[in-house]
Structure 1
């Protein structure tokens, strides 16, 4: 091979310039030509080079020169396209488009029956042109003289003896028998009488016979000689009758290739196939009428997956893309584009399809945009991350706010496809902002799909925003009036439980799940129980490794000085009476401040005048430390509760609600939390409704106001016994704003004392004149009711 290349280079250097580079040699059937792959030096484009060695084949030099002449002068789409030719005394070179011998495909049987019909159709058109329009005879038609181009189209070559019947000295008469393998393909009338018999028979007879043997060869692989003539093995049934007529031993009744073509194109004929109709009408697709375009699209739908790949990549695909972009081809055409693109390599896809796809995403045609979103899974692996993140996704954003619901819905679904190609900044920025809008969409299906989408992309969200966004989105979906939206939120919470901390599970998620335990729909109730079990298992596991208490151990110094009152730690022996240890430290504090309790007449000590709680709260509603802090700590200045409800649970519920309000949610999801969700009643709005003031501040559910009680006990030590701060007239500097003691008396939610009503009335009514401070007798009264707190409280 290297010797041959050097010899070729030496020959070129001695002759005219030939701007093509020889490549690998291509094996072909027996021929006077040697075929090489080549490249054009100017731009590196592919080509093929036919070379003829004059010194080794002088006897066939007229055939080579005839082929060069006919290839340069005969112009038809089915004929090999010539780029350049060079002829010297030692060689002849013909540079053509890149070709592949048809024999390769036939041997591998890589073409479907429909593709073979399509190829024969093209060859028949070319031979008809040669016979009827050019009044010529090919004379060497067979598989060895046919090639396929880069577009997959069949090209006719082998013009060594192609002759015009108007020429009395045509080369076919003298050199027809010198064509390699001529004996196998020579028609019977020429085998008997010589090639001069062409003049005595119809002009089309020779090529008609050779076209018949070509049909047998492409469907069966090889044609060995006259014994196989007329056999119909593997030949389509509809094609068999005209095929027999083509290979008729008598040239007179033998139909021409043009007649064979006409029979095949009849309605229902063997050439009336979707593929052939498509190739016939693909040119100028954008110029067709609406009816013609509709027929073309119907032909596209009729195509199977075994279409000729190369032809569709090179010829059909560019026309289809132009039709979609500029000719109104619509989604139907684009779906075929995607079908063809599956046969493309990554480089071919980037060069031919990607630019068009990027332009189409900016199209205002909603049908095209929906089709693009539907086909994203087919092409996403072919698109680079830079293209998706920088060019395609910015165009997709408009779909989240499109007025057409179908566009919004498909855009939300497409997020799952493109999420892997988006940067973290894009995901946690623009994407979440637009998903926050679709989560509040007027269409329940879009809201549901947004919840599903968030659940599936949870692992792609940033660690700093994941739990905040998911909790805000899912807990709001739990209140959606649409049953499938609630169910989707429950399922999403179930699969994303690992994304939340134990504090979030206990404080935010479980409280949001509880109302769904009594949902009107059984499917929701069942799903809620499953999800709650998932979170309860996490909470139980976490609680099992927590310390028994967070309180520091008591120190001897604190015990001796008594400066820091502290609730005692519950002991196992006190489990039967939890209220006993809960108020024990307060009892000690009272004894230290006011002396010994006066015994009663019968010797038994009188009980404290504080009212006894009749209906104890359920264990777990409040801790001892919480009661203590409520008693000794001053309430914040901003607190101005008007409710005097005695239910302790309301207090903790309000505290939790306040904690929820302080949770920092990203701006996108924070905006949607402020209002009611999908017209569903908001829990926050319920919690902020003013509670009805109880007419009786000491109902059976009440609890002692330890802060007021301690303040009263401490006041007994002073000689002046000043007026309690809650009853004092507001100073001018404070205006009408109540002091801290007043707020203690009016905002306690664990229970009210008898002074609460007085304090509230005094704070509400402005004093018209100075009133003498009322002395309060803090000494215990004998009310005759040992179980009550006493009228004084």
Structure 2
């Protein structure tokens, strides 16, 4: 039957003329009303609708009409806010703010002690207003008459018998007994003498007794008529005052006003952070700095079991006003973000996001640092477009701020916002700004920049990532600040996956090696660890590479050449030098091919004794076109001597050959120059004349396979070139190793002459025994 009545009422309410849409029915006990969740059709705002069916409750119609009348006129923060009332021939509607019966929480025992005290304080304060200011009696104070709003606050309802004691014909005198389950909640004097006894007792007696019953219900979950005054589960600090509320003698009962007064005393049961917060929140904007700081400290003391709805609906708006317009400062902002972490995504976007965007544009440094510190708490709730377009641009001013703390916090905040920035912003503006902080005069900021780059490496673009990271980390390895160097080594180890093997070998390892001898042991140890990581990777990659990139050839000449320059089975470091020396004559067959590209063949040097020393190369510091028309002779192989038959004598009749050789080699690096007189280290003077990379091939010269050396003939040949043989050959020309081209021909490296000297061909008898000392 009740279901049918509810369906009929819902059908009526859904009529086109009814401005509210009824939703789910909410269970409510001990009441003449049916409660529905509803929404306003105009703006879809939430509300609640109390419905009274006239046809089925004609005897209680005066109670419903009294409730409508009192709801329209009674206004108090502790009273349910009424939006509208509608009366028809069949139903009476009271439309209020969205509420939930307190009996739901009471039956589930889901209320904490602090929240219960806070709610009882609100109800007692409201009853004080009704009794003293409105000179009225509520009459049915119980859990079923109290509701919780969307903000979690307790609201007093159930005004069915609310009556002014100035009214001689008040409803409570005539219809008080018609209230559902009145016998269980009625005060003992009314049970004994009826409702008229109210006139002869204190005005507050009835509501004080009802407040005592509410206290028992809140802390125990249920109530029977014989439990009034029992202190089960009632907080010890409240027990004495609670007993006086339930006193059998109405003249000895504690009024709601005195109950609040006793609770507010120092150390009283109503001296809680939550109650103090409620009292002070509305005047937060009027408080001075010291009072505001005290308020925020109390706010921080609140635990997580306090009603979140109250903070969202009541505390948060006041805090936002204070921080944005009232100079609330960083502490208030911290409280805002703490509350904001419990908001849903939709609530956060509507309430906090616009304020946060405006605060980032605020030039106050303390506020900016607080925003950056708390950015991790709110970044997940901020939309990506908002962060990239409206938050990051003003945030960039922190990279260049005069205060080091702002620069440092801005660098740290990059880790929070990096996931919300576009690739263009990251690889453009952000990297430019981090390049500035990498050169900051504060060593801590430089260190944090290196750490930041290591942690955001995966977010950088592939085209610039390797170049940026190598440049940044290798630079940090030269930083005078020890922790900056350590951060560079740690970052290199952590970001190794982003470098190619070529970068690891050519760029990273050379940069790490100097740190192996760092003055700080911490850096040396970390450098060894980082170096080991990179070496393992390079070695592993090297194992996958082919043994050689030279293409295989079936030509027997190539095989012989290979055998000449080294024995593959010889693993010693001197292997090829020895094998080259021993196989020199046996493996070199045939003739050296003539020069290509039109180069003129070089005439062979006259035969000389095998024991005779080679003549020195004339040197000259004159320009290239002023040099004598003598082509450079081929240089000797290191670690061994050639026989005279292997020497290639340049053609002395052509001046242009010298120019072609110099042009072929071009300028030489300083690394090719060694000390003069060392027979194992060639001395080469760099030419400033650029030229092609390869020299022209030389004409073939037959080998001399033996015989006594012709020392006199060699001297005669050198006299034609007008060269001077120094005493004891102590300025012998250094031998430059003869390289070979891929075809097996010799490629000669010229030596710059420093000037021609006159050769004395007359042997000196007293010095002949010293001629070979220079080769030892």
State the TM-score bracket (shorter-chain normalisation).
Answer: 0.7 to 0.9
Structure 1 residues 338 and 604, CA gap change in structure 2 (3 angstroms):
same
User: Residue by residue, what CA displacement relative to the aligned partner does 1:409-436 show, whole Å, maximum 9, x if unpaired?
Assistant: 1111121222222222222111111111
Report the more deviating stretch, 247-256 or 389-398.
389-398
Q: Is the 8 A contact 2:116 2:218 kept in 1?
A: yes
Distance 1:174 1:723 in 2: 149
Distance 1:59 1:343 in 2: 48
Shift of 1:347: 1.0
Shift of 1:546: 2.8
Shift of 1:556: 6.0
**Which residue is 2:8 aligned to?**
7
Q: Is the 8 A contact 2:672 2:683 kept in 1?
A: no
**Which residue is 1:233 aligned to?**
232
Report the more deviating stretch, 256-265 or 82-91.
82-91
Q: Secondary structure at the match of 1:241?
A: helix
**Which residue is 1:595 aligned to?**
604
**Which residue is 2:682 aligned to?**
703
**Which residue is 1:513 aligned to?**
512
Distance 2:686 2:457 in 1: 48
Distance 1:78 1:381 in 2: 37
Shift of 1:713: 12
User: Residue by residue, what CA displacement relative to the aligned partner does 1:602-643 show, whole Å, maximum 9, x if unpaired?
Assistant: x64656868999999xxxxxxxxxxxxxx9885887x697x6
Q: Does 1:524 align with 2:523?
A: yes
Structure 1 residues 547 and 712, CA gap change in structure 2 (3 angstroms):
closer
Structure 1 residues 86 and 530, CA gap change in structure 2 (3 angstroms):
same
Distance 1:305 1:458 in 2: 38
Distance 1:493 1:608 in 2: 56
**Which residue is 2:574 aligned to?**
576
Q: Which ranges of structure 1 fall in alignment gaps of 5 or more residues?
A: 617-630, 648-695, 725-743, 745-752, 760-772
Q: Secondary structure at the match of 1:218?
A: helix
Distance 2:505 2:382 in 1: 43
Shift of 1:549: 3.4
**Which residue is 1:381 aligned to?**
380
Q: Secondary structure at the match of 1:434?
A: helix
**Which residue is 1:673 aligned to?**
none
**Which residue is 1:245 aligned to?**
244
**Which residue is 1:202 aligned to?**
202
Distance 2:404 2:429 in 1: 20
Shift of 1:477: 0.7
User: Residue by residue, what CA displacement relative to the aligned partner does 1:626-685 show, whole Å, maximum 9, x if unpaired?
Assistant: xxxxx9885887x697x68845xxxxxxxxxxxxxxxxxxxxxxxxxxxxxxxxxxxxxx
Q: Is the 8 A contact 1:613 1:700 kept in 2?
A: no
User: Residue by residue, what CA displacement relative to the aligned partner does 1:731-753 show, whole Å, maximum 9, x if unpaired?
Assistant: xxxxxxxxxxxxx9xxxxxxxx9
Distance 2:288 2:131 in 1: 34
For 1:155-170, what aligned pairs fall within 5 Å after superposition? 155-170=155-170
Shift of 1:205: 0.6
**Which residue is 1:24 aligned to?**
24
Report the more deviating stretch, 332-341 or 582-591.
582-591
**Which residue is 2:304 aligned to?**
305
Q: Is the 8 A contact 1:330 1:368 kept in 2?
A: yes
Q: Is the 8 A contact 2:603 2:699 kept in 1?
A: no
Q: What TM-score comes out, normalization by structure 1 length? A: 0.77
Structure 1 residues 596 and 549, CA gap change in structure 2 (3 angstroms):
farther
**Which residue is 2:106 aligned to?**
106
Q: Is the 8 A contact 1:594 1:713 kept in 2?
A: no
User: Residue by residue, what CA displacement relative to the aligned partner does 1:466-509 show, whole Å, maximum 9, x if unpaired?
Assistant: 11111101111111111111111111111211211121111111
**Which residue is 1:540 aligned to?**
539
Q: Is the 8 A contact 1:517 1:525 kept in 2?
A: yes
Distance 1:320 1:477 in 2: 44
Distance 1:211 1:54 in 2: 30
Q: Secondary structure at the match of 1:464?
A: helix
**Which residue is 1:74 aligned to?**
74
User: Residue by residue, what CA displacement relative to the aligned partner does 1:286-336 show, whole Å, maximum 9, x if unpaired?
Assistant: 232223222222221221112211111111111111211121112211221
Q: Secondary structure at the match of 2:132?
A: helix
Distance 1:482 1:415 in 2: 22
Structure 1 residues 488 and 46, CA gap change in structure 2 (3 angstroms):
same
Structure 1 residues 98 and 567, CA gap change in structure 2 (3 angstroms):
farther
**Which residue is 2:444 aligned to?**
445
Distance 1:510 1:308 in 2: 59
Distance 2:276 2:199 in 1: 37
User: Residue by residue, what CA displacement relative to the aligned partner does 1:338-366 show, whole Å, maximum 9, x if unpaired?
Assistant: 22122211111111111111211111112
Shift of 1:557: 11
Structure 1 residues 267 and 9, CA gap change in structure 2 (3 angstroms):
closer
For 1:551-700, what aligned pairs fall within 5 Å after superposition? 551-552=550-551, 571-573=568-570, 575-579=573-577, 593=602, 595=604, 598-600=607-609, 604=611, 606=613, 646=673, 697-698=676-677
Q: CA RMSD in A?
A: 4.1
For 1:276-425, what aligned pairs fall within 5 Å after superposition? 276-425=275-424
Distance 2:28 2:411 in 1: 55
Structure 1 residues 787 and 64, CA gap change in structure 2 (3 angstroms):
farther
**Which residue is 2:146 aligned to?**
146
Structure 1 residues 83 and 593, CA gap change in structure 2 (3 angstroms):
same
Q: Which ranges of structure 2 fall in alignment gaps of 5 or more residues?
A: 595-600, 618-634, 641-659, 688-693, 702-716, 724-735, 737-748
Q: Is the 8 A contact 1:565 1:589 kept in 2?
A: no
Distance 1:380 1:547 in 2: 50
Q: Is the 8 A contact 1:612 1:788 kept in 2?
A: no
Q: Does 1:501 align with 2:480?
A: no
User: Residue by residue, what CA displacement relative to the aligned partner does 1:660-711 show, whole Å, maximum 9, x if unpaired?
Assistant: xxxxxxxxxxxxxxxxxxxxxxxxxxxxxxxxxxxx7446774243999x99
Q: Secondary structure at the match of 2:440?
A: coil
User: Residue by residue, what CA displacement relative to the aligned partner does 1:228-268 show, whole Å, maximum 9, x if unpaired?
Assistant: 12221221221111111111111112110000101111222
Distance 1:467 1:559 in 2: 42
Distance 1:582 1:121 in 2: 106
Distance 1:513 1:430 in 2: 29
Shift of 1:517: 0.9
Structure 1 residues 140 and 3, CA gap change in structure 2 (3 angstroms):
closer
For 1:182-193, what aligned pairs fall within 5 Å after superposition? 182-193=182-193
Structure 1 residues 340 and 110, CA gap change in structure 2 (3 angstroms):
farther
Q: Does 1:179 align with 2:179?
A: yes
Q: Is the 8 A contact 1:644 1:697 kept in 2?
A: no
Q: Is the 8 A contact 2:592 2:700 kept in 1?
A: no
Q: Secondary structure at the match of 1:280?
A: helix
Shift of 1:558: 9.3
Q: Is the 8 A contact 1:478 1:485 kept in 2?
A: yes
Shift of 1:554: 6.8
**Which residue is 1:435 aligned to?**
434
Distance 1:550 1:777 in 2: 52
For 1:451-470, what aligned pairs fall within 5 Å after superposition? 451-470=450-469
Structure 1 residues 430 and 754, CA gap change in structure 2 (3 angstroms):
closer
**Which residue is 2:774 aligned to?**
788
User: Residue by residue, what CA displacement relative to the aligned partner does 1:25-46 show, whole Å, maximum 9, x if unpaired?
Assistant: 1100121111111111111111
Paired positions, count: 678
Q: Is the 8 A contact 1:40 1:47 kept in 2?
A: yes
Structure 1 residues 13 and 492, CA gap change in structure 2 (3 angstroms):
closer
Shift of 1:272: 1.5
Q: Secondary structure at the match of 1:546?
A: coil
Shift of 1:123: 0.8
Q: Secondary structure at the match of 1:294?
A: helix
Q: What TM-score comes out, normalization by structure 2 length? A: 0.79
Structure 1 residues 713 and 30, CA gap change in structure 2 (3 angstroms):
closer
Q: Secondary structure at the match of 2:84?
A: strand
Q: Is the 8 A contact 1:216 1:223 kept in 2?
A: yes
Q: Is the 8 A contact 1:145 1:156 kept in 2?
A: yes
